[in-house]
Structure 1
């Protein structure tokens, strides 16, 4: 019998993005359920207008990411591009409001566990990583293979704040090692899945993934140092 010469079937290219979009949304809801999405059930303190605005903008961003991945999956690229303009404005709102909210929370002494000025390195670092990845992804929007991977990393790479708020003792005890470590595993998992599907490690996952991971460990090295504490004290005055 002649050997089977049929090509090996690959998983649909949109599967990674669809699954990741829903997984990211689920982690965000889980992390912020007690203090935002289901706060009426848990009876947590009333939120300020800024926190409500921050929650709304971030929810819209992750919701838009889910919608955009589905539009690509069903080949509605025309609508995907039209919504991309909304996404660009929403990304700016995420950056501005996210930065203001993080600084205000530290000023008021709020954090999911670590001292507020030390924890401030997490959300501010996330905003730097998010802005860099989204900005590069939008700049390379004509190169779809780069664009979709960078936009995925922009969402996966900022999960640390949500993971930090998941009500598990193991996460609370491990602190930033858990927030960043689990986020890094998600980034690596996306890259591995993509490599197995395509047969190569795409440069967007290589360099974008390294950027996210190194930003986490740089923040761990920086948090608590005199340099960081001076900056955090200054920015929260």
Structure 2
């Protein structure tokens, strides 16, 4: 049986969960991008152009903004709304910057084992499009907190896969990175089960979208149409 919870204890559970997830996302990004971005001033690595620096700054700022969920649990709705506006601005910037980063990575020959760089470009581009889709849906449902916050979480999960793919032992294996990102979805499901006694359907649907996007992107990346599009963008 599910133990009844009071509104106060439920709010505390939400605060702990969302704060913990924000920290987990930050750690994931730090581990993935430390060699090429966060530790760049003290470690020799290939130079980055200005858009890549801006993308790193914007993406890090987005992760820091996830603390707004914890602020809502503390009834700081006024601050949540102000941070929400900043979140919209950051999300709008992340989309074109993410595409530019994907093109730059393909130009440098970044790939996963068994794929050409032009074909692999579909993975970061797909991550950007999934982020845009989940965030757009979250914005549309901003007056429905139960839906809104889960969509924000799914948007962040879809954007974190490039960081996971750069973990040393993942080594740009895109499908493995996607599978590992589902750990965050599983964490959301467990939180739902413990706090609500049931899992919200959005986690099931969103997790399925993330899972199926792996083979879907791999199939698209090997088509002549995608190769032509990617070559046009890179060259």
Q: Do Structure 1 and Structure 2 share a fold, with TM-score over 0.5?
A: yes
Decide whether aligned partners of structure 1 residues 176 and 7 sit closer, same or farther in structure 2, where only a CA change above 3 A counts: closer
SS at match of 1:41: coil
Gaps of 5+ in 1: 1-5
Aligned position for 1:90: 90
Aligned length: 228
Asked whether the equivalents of residues 163 and 179 of structure 1 are also in contact (C-alpha less than 8 Å), the reply is: yes
Deviation at 1:232, TM superposition (A): 1.7
Is 1:52 aligned to residue 56 of structure 2?
A: no
Distance 1:217 1:14, change over 3 A: farther
Q: Is the 8 A contact 1:157 1:187 kept in 2?
A: no
Contact (CA 8 Å) 2:106, 2:234: kept in 1 or not?
Answer: yes
Q: Deviations over 1:142-200 (max 9, x none)?
A: 000001111011112222100111112xx228x22311110123223322332332112
RMSD across aligned positions (CA): 2.2
Deviation string for 1:32-79 (max 9, x for gaps)? Answer: 0000000122211221111111111111111112x3123123221111
- Higher alpha-carbon deviation: 26-35 or 92-101: 92-101
Measure, in 2, the Cα distance between the counterparts of 1:177 and 1:120: 13
1:34 paired with 2:35, answer yes
1:197 maps to which residue? 195
- Aligned partners of 2:70, 2:48: CA distance in 1, in Å? 32
Q: TM-score, normalised by structure 2?
A: 0.87
Relative to structure 1, the CA distance from residue 214 to residue 112 in structure 2 (aligned partners, 3 Å threshold; closer, same or farther) is closer
Tell me if the contact between 1:31 and 1:165 (Cα under 8 Å) persists in the aligned partners. Answer: yes
Q: Does 1:236 align with 2:234?
A: yes
CA distance in 1 between counterparts of 2:215 and 2:25 reads 21
Distance 1:217 1:199, change over 3 A: farther
Aligned to 2:220: 222
* Corresponding residue of 1:3: none
Describe how 1:73-88 pairs up with structure 2 within 5 A.
73-88=73-88
**Alignment partners' CA distance in 1, 2:157 and 2:60:** 14
Mapped partners of 1:225, 1:188: distance in 2: 32
Per the alignment, in what secondary structure is the counterpart of residue 42 of structure 2?
helix
TM normalised by structure 1 equals 0.87
SS in 1 for 2:41: helix
- In structure 2, relative to structure 1, the CA distance for the partners of 1:50 and 1:193 (3 Å cut) is same
Contact kept? 1:133, 1:154, Cα under 8 Å: yes
Rounded Cα–Cα distance in structure 2 between residues aligned with 1:112 and 1:218: 15
Task: Give the Cα–Cα distance (whole angstroms) in 2 for the partners of residues 184 and 222 of structure 1.
Answer: 21
CA contact (8 A) 1:31 1:162 kept: yes
